[in-house]
Structure 1
Amino acid sequence: MSEPMVSAAADPGSFQRGRDYYLSGRVRELTVDGRAVSAIVDGGRAYRVRLDLTPVGLEGRCNCPYGAEGFFCKHCVAAALAWLDSADAPPEASTVSKGKGGRRKRAGTSTGKGKADAKSKGGRDRRLRNFLLRQEGPWLVAELLRAADNDPLLRARLEVAAGADASEAFDDRHLRSRLEQTVDVGYFVDHREAEAYFWGVDEALTEVAKLIGDGFPDAARELAVYALDLLESVAGLIDDSDGGLRVAIERAEQVHLDACSASAPDPPQLAEFLAERALRSEYEVFLTAVPDYVSVLGTAGMARYRELVEDAWNALPPKRSHDYGSRRFTVTFLMERLAECEGGTNALVDVLSRDVASAYDVLRIAQRLHEDGRHAEALQWLERGLSDFPPDPRLRSLAAECHVRTGDRARAQELLWDNFAERPSVDAYIALRKLAGKKAFARRRDSALSVLRDEPVPGQRVSHPDDAIVVLRAAADLEIEKKDRRSYHEAAGLLAEARTLAEGCGHLDEFDAHLLALRTTHKPKRALCEELDRAGLP
């Protein structure tokens, strides 16, 4: 494989952007497995890339919007170039690579046109260099100034070389105008146009991100903030069915973070900006700044950030049941991120336990304790939730899991039975059976099926024919697994009952198709087929 092969697999724009991504160090976790490689490429978010060097060419897959349509995207290009530059670089090959839209393009090799082009360019560069070295200074100055008039970045680099402050040298007006034209298009962007719209936004942000590597991170930081301002101002005019707005916001946030890392802004001022922006944003801008900005903020910045978030949290009124206001969500989310970043589970539980107003609040605390292996503590919270709030099957399910971990399977079965009896369903039935195991569940099965069949059950009467059909089929499959005549007889009875229910609710054709498939699968089991025939099943 060679760089020309990678270039041939992508369109020119994707190749150039992918090359920029590779050169700026956006490829990580590169894992080579023979003639295949996987990697993560940091773009608007972290994208997963898989490349395969096959007999027919270089093929790439990426979970970005462009890659999902089958194109060899910039993330694939970046990963491929990183692969070429690794110790496990693939061998050179002359073959056909998969290009845009799945079409095949002839890829050059180091011995073909690509190498010839590189040699030709090198020769032209040497001739131009030798020519420039022979020219008089005034002519060179005039040519440089003329070029700088059309290239703000070149002008800024020259001014910095001449002693100007980098934070003031770059004139960002052209990029501000580019962002305005790209983001604020002045009309409603419908679903058909959204993909192209967000692609354009990503292109503009890529130009902003290049400023960081060129030595102007302060300008990149300010432009990233301007892009976020624009995105929030037009958010209501964009059909965001595919989540493109969130991706664009995350891309601008990443540019801002990279610029901050390169320019080291005043930590307390940065903390004030991040906290204030997150607290007022309607689109979750900088909501996840912690822990990403911890290293940039340092001790002083984190102290100021914590102070501002805690002030907002303390100003919240006491929580009421079903209080899901956006302000409360934002402030609480920021407090939770802070607690988890700085104090782990104990600090997070302290935050979550301040306002326990519903079973869900209890569930979140217990889930975190359970994830940390603190099952006894989780059970204490779950018992409180089951006592203080209306019955919640989620609390019972988690409590059952905790009881299993602490060795009390009998209590776990009781909780899952309560879930099933309260809300009979296939999922509840399967959870109960999975916990009890085949033998232990035999005592529960008849009671469970009686609930689904609408037979009298103390204290309740329910009717779930569709669920009953599925459960009866599942019970029949279990009997068939036992591979004996008595079990086949039981399975046939269960299936006959299920067929009666299917006929009653208009699903007979679908059920008979299942029976036909079952007979085909188990055709060698003559005893089973005989029992199905005796039960009058087709």
Structure 2
Amino acid sequence: MVGLTEAKLRALAGTRSFERGLGYVDAVSGIEVGTDSIRASVQGTHRYGAELTLGGPRGLAGECDCPHGQEGNFCKHLVALGLVALAQKADLPRQRKTARNRARGLDAWLSALSREELLALVRNEITEDRNVRRRLELRAASARGDLAALRSRLRELLDIGPFASYGYVEYADARAYADQAGQAVSAIRALTASDRPADAVVLAREAIALLAAAAENVDDSDGRLGQIGADLADLHHTACRAARPDPEELAHWLVGHAVDEAAADLTYLDPLDYEDVLGERGTAALRRHAVLAWQAHRTGWAEKHLMQRLAKAGRDVDTVIAVHAADLAPNGHTHLLIARELESAGRFAEALEWAERGLRDTGNLATVDTALVDHLTDRYTRADRLTDAVTLRSDHFKARRTLLTYRQLRVAAQAARCWPTERKKALALLSADAGAGADRKGAQGTSVLVDVLLDDRDIDAAWQAATTSGAHDTQWRTLADTSRATRPAEALAAYLRLAKPLTHQTGSRTYEELVALLLSMRDCHRALGTQDDFTAYVTTLRTTQKRKRNLMRLMDEHGL
């Protein structure tokens, strides 16, 4: 088959999938060669159906129902099928010719049958194959205009019972269920095509509801039911365009669907897309029903989301604010959202009032949304209210004493030219925390005092704080690295203390960290003029750690 080469398979799949496909060659079975296709089963995590096609607009292509293939990728199973086909390449022309002959023979045989013989054949197939029977029953009911029969058949198609074990459809059976459920889409589409869009609207809604209920009990890892749901939503919209249902009734259904999270998540049907069908009267009804749904459940996510989208679409800022205000978050986040909405509408004074109200309503700056504090500080700064900005940052720092809030206070105070005063007060708070023995792992412990002093490059004060109240290993390392040239004795003591526990550990990272400390120690000894002491330390270390070959190798590489 022209175009089927190993190089083409590698190019389509990529190196990784191609290499993995090599291991699946023996898992290929049931090869069926058609005139322009090759089909087979490939045993992977499950048994997957793979098909290669030639002669299309893209040349060589393939489809597989594995998860990777369902995402549109040329997967390892297709690679395996292609490699098996290449191994049989010499025989493929004969097999393709045989396939063409079979197709022609079948067509010729069917054409020669009488009407009675064809009917007998179809009836026999209906008896033996349930799927064939269902498909033909749907077509017959559609042709007769028998809505009750169609509804009954749709319920059968969307029933998970035949595929479920203990009420749940496992992954292995999900595809078969999805294939059957997909027949419902075809049946409803046929109604629209046959000038019966009003019936299609009714059945599409019923099918969406049935599928949404079923989806909760199906392992739809491959997303097949989601695609069927999207197809049903498209069919509903298309049918509505043709049938032009009552706008008031349509609006009521759209809102009910939107606030039914299971159904909405399945179809992603957007009520705002129906503006062309609803018209002015229907759009007004849509807003009215949305308000009623929201009033009945003000904290519901779906209700709030629909209200917000409708309000924004109509540029109704006050409605958006009302929806937010009905369910204010205790940390001020919702106040911030309201402030941003008001700002986007050019209502800056109201926006500032809502942001400030967020701080008041929160009450505790330790739990406030930090984005609200940042927002207000920025607005105060823009308005040249620098004192207010400093006060806010100072209050926030007092409530949440962290390196970040200290830095933010410093920026605000430097802009207001009052940093020395604010710094003194902030350091006094942190020193009091350290003196009171606050949790050093928390936001108010000694670690914060050392961090802020290091951040201020006040190294002497940082050493004093660390020596007096303690510090974390990372802080001792920073202190030592920062002042190795000016405080070699103190830095050396810190390095020795940090190195000691590492000598009892193993692993590449440990060895690299230990060697880095040794190099820093060597610098300290050179500054102190005590190189002999360093040599003695390294000699002892080599003696006690000689079994750690990787450590010895690293030390050799660095001349230690």
Fold match by TM threshold 0.5:
yes
C-alpha contact 1:53 1:59 (8 A) present in aligned 2: no
Deviations 1:208-267 (A, max 9, x none): 3454356347455422212334567x8xxx9xxxx989x999777535423312432635
Normalized per residue, which structure has more helix? 2
Describe the shift of the 1:139–1:210 C-alpha distance in structure 2 as closer, same or farther (beyond 3 A). same
- Separation in 1, partners of 2:430, 2:251: 58
C-alpha contact 1:400 1:412 (8 A) present in aligned 2: yes
> The residue matched to 2:235 in structure 1 has which SS?
helix
Shift of 1:155: 0.5
Shift of 1:402: 3.5
C-alpha contact 1:362 1:382 (8 A) present in aligned 2: yes
- Separation in 2, partners of 1:523, 1:441: 24
Match of 1:308 among 278, 289, 294: 289
Match of 1:108 among 59, 65, 82: 82
Shift of 1:401: 3.8
Match of 1:271 among 229, 251, 258: 251
Length, aligned pairs only: 426
Shift of 1:339: 1.4
C-alpha contact 1:208 1:223 (8 A) present in aligned 2: no
Deviations 1:116-164 (A, max 9, x none): 6766544532332233233333222322333345324531575379x43
Identity %: 18
Counterpart amino acid of 1:302?
Answer: T
Describe the shift of the 1:176–1:409 C-alpha distance in structure 2 as closer, same or farther (beyond 3 A). farther
Counterpart amino acid of 1:271?
Answer: A
TM-score, length of structure 1 as denominator length:
0.58
> The residue matched to 1:179 in structure 2 has which SS?
coil
Structure showing greater relative contact order (alpha-carbon pairs closer than 8 Å, 6 or more residues apart): 1
- Separation in 2, partners of 1:530, 1:225: 77
Matches within 5 A, 1:251-400: 254-264=230-240, 266=245, 267-276=247-256, 285-286=263-264, 290-291=270-271, 293-295=273-275, 297-299=277-279, 300-313=281-294, 331-343=303-315, 345=317, 347-352=319-324, 359=332, 361-369=334-342, 377-386=350-359, 390-391=363-364, 393-394=368-369, 395-400=372-377
- Separation in 2, partners of 1:226, 1:273: 15
Counterpart amino acid of 2:354?
Answer: W
Deviations 1:270-307 (A, max 9, x none): 3323434566x5x5654875446535753254333322
- Residue segments in structure 2 that go unaligned for 5+ positions in a row: 22-43, 70-74, 192-199, 499-560
Match of 1:133 in 2: 111
- Separation in 2, partners of 1:199, 1:373: 56
C-alpha contact 1:492 1:532 (8 A) present in aligned 2: no
Shift of 1:489: 4.3
> The residue matched to 2:14 in structure 1 has which SS?
strand
Describe the shift of the 1:118–1:295 C-alpha distance in structure 2 as closer, same or farther (beyond 3 A). farther
- Separation in 2, partners of 1:431, 1:182: 63
C-alpha contact 1:212 1:262 (8 A) present in aligned 2: no
Match of 1:144 among 92, 110, 122: 122
Counterpart amino acid of 1:260?
Answer: H
TM-score, length of structure 2 as denominator length:
0.56
Matches within 5 A, 1:151-230: 151-152=132-133, 154-156=135-137, 158-159=139-140, 163-165=143-145, 170=150, 172-173=152-153, 176=156, 179-181=159-161, 186=166, 197=170, 204-205=177-178, 207-213=180-186, 215-216=189-190, 218=200, 219=203, 221-229=205-213
Counterpart amino acid of 1:424?
Answer: R
Counterpart amino acid of 2:185?
Answer: I
Shift of 1:447: 3.6
Cα-Cα RMSD: 5.7
Match of 1:465 in 2: 440
Match of 1:53 among 14, 18, 24: 14
Matches within 5 A, 1:471-482: 471-472=448-449, 474-475=451-452, 478=455
Describe the shift of the 1:444–1:431 C-alpha distance in structure 2 as closer, same or farther (beyond 3 A). same
Match of 1:64 in 2: none
Describe the shift of the 1:278–1:98 C-alpha distance in structure 2 as closer, same or farther (beyond 3 A). closer
Q: Which structure has the larger Rg over C-alpha atoms?
A: 2
- Separation in 2, partners of 1:261, 1:128: 40
Match of 2:501 in 1: none
Match of 2:432 in 1: 454
Describe the shift of the 1:119–1:372 C-alpha distance in structure 2 as closer, same or farther (beyond 3 A). farther
Describe the shift of the 1:382–1:375 C-alpha distance in structure 2 as closer, same or farther (beyond 3 A). same
